[in-house]
Amino acid sequence: MAMLFVEMQTHDGHEGLGLSYSKRAGGPGQFAHAAEIAPALLGEDPSDIAKLWNKLCWAGASAGRSGLSTQAIGAFDVALYDLKARRAGLSLAKLLGAYRDSVACYNTSGGFLHTPLEQLLVNAAASVERGIGGIKLKVGQPDRALDIERVEAVRKHLGDHVPLMVDANQQWDRPTAQRMCRIFEQFNLVWIEEPLDAYDHEGHAALAASFDTPIATGEMLTSVMEHGDLIRHRAADYLMPDAPRVGGITPFLRIAGQAEAAGLMLAPHFAMELHVHLGAAYATETWVEHFDWLEPLFNERLEIKDGRMIVPTRPGLGLSLSEQARAWTREKVEFGTRP
């Protein structure tokens, strides 16, 4: 995994921290694109966040308005919101207008396909004991019977009261997805995630219309327009936008507005340190994904209690980079002059 961080300072001493990421290839490309467009921010008013998003977008428009180019913009956009909230003395959630002080959370990192079944049961029980509210399991094995066995075993182990989700990571074709969704109806799942290719909106819509178990998707989409197409097709019950992937908080809020108008539930993907704030600012109850992968990068930790993630009350994101993050830094570049 590669992380892209933006540390921003104004002439009067205010600071902001932003982030984006790439789980596989693309990190060096994000960094290179960010370095090219960063000078466009110099001399601008940091309060004009939407204007600055557009300026950064057009500075790199020849690279496109989705994917890697907007993911690079995302780090600047998050930093601008963090700066604005810090300057106001508010958490990011409060700046945006929070509906709640905590969000429901679920664990993914204990349920990967390579995890043996016995360890899967141990991991799931440990997460519940820790106070995490739900458990998500990866499915999509070549042998579908293994998927069924694992889901059935975890449901029996945890009981009916623990929220349980599954994630196929786009591994099924339409006939397989129909069969598996039908079989999984018996397990009272919160959702079935990415049963089909991320861009198969018609296929996802057919599943959403056919089954009681909600369909969740959206994490792989990288623009407001792509999410708009998904919403118009009614292709999800749970929308799963990823703020860094779509270009930051500015486009995320546009997506969330469309989702709310369509009556969809929201479950932002990954980056819990950011999404805990954005989830708290959505009109209806949200789920936020608990991944502890990024914890070594920050000095602060999120609090989990009674199945919920507590929204930090510190100004902005409430985060500062750790010494470990700085030690792992491979490339950096600086623009402008320090105040």
Report CA 316 to chain centroid distance, whole Å.
18
Spatial separation of the C-alpha atoms in residues 280 and 100, rounded to whole Å: 5
Phi, psi of 326 (to 5 degrees): -70, -35
Other beta carbons within 10 Å of 145:
8
Q: Which listed residue (269, 275, 277, 290) is catalytic?
A: 269
Contacts of 44 (CB under 8 A, 6+ apart): 51, 52, 55
Which two tokens mark 321?
Answer: 């980079």
- DSSP letter for 333, please: -
- The distance in angstroms from the start CA to the end CA of the chain is 32
CB 97 within 8 A of CB 32: no
User: Is 23 in the active site?
Assistant: no
Does the annotation place 219 within a ligand binding site? yes
Which two tokens mark 54?
Answer: 């557009």
CB 306 within 8 A of CB 131: yes
Phi, psi of 181 (to 5 degrees): -65, -40
Spatial separation of the C-alpha atoms in residues 23 and 25, rounded to whole Å: 7
Which two tokens mark 234?
Answer: 């009614």
User: Is 138 in the active site?
Assistant: yes
Which two tokens mark 259?
Answer: 């989702």
Which segments within 131-290 are labelled E, that is strand? 134-138, 164-167, 192-193, 215-217, 238-239, 265-266, 287-290
Spatial separation of the C-alpha atoms in residues 135 and 107, rounded to whole Å: 5
Give the three-class secondary structure for 326.
helix
Q: Which residues are catalytic?
A: 138, 269
